[in-house]
Amino acid sequence: MSEPFAVEDATFEESVLGSETPVLVDFWAPWCGPCKLVSPIVEAIGREQGERLKIAKLNIDESTGTAQRYMVFSIPTLILYRGGAEAGRWVGFQRKDDLERKLSAVLG
């Protein structure tokens, strides 16, 4: 079981890119309605797949540098990082079963 953790510009490289476990980063903002809908789905997946996947949350209003560096133009954006590189990207609301299927296709 894995609880989501917050990342920001200063901690992104070590916490996400340096992780041995794949990390699904939820790029979000407090004012974003669809972000509020996808957040519990992402967190549930993290709890269910915690042995093979970590969940990080990055508030784009507070960490604009990382959001710009990874070209996050719409939120919610979910980016899966594996071995320090982007392995998958999904923009907009994702249903739980769809997101699980997409993650399984990437993670194996």
Catalytic site positions = 32, 35
Q: How far is CA 10 from CA 19, 21, 63, in A?
A: 15, 20, 9
Q: What Rg, from alpha-carbon coordinates, does the chain have?
A: 12
Query: What does the alpha-carbon distance between residue 104 and residue 5 come to, in Å, rounded to a whole number?
Result: 21
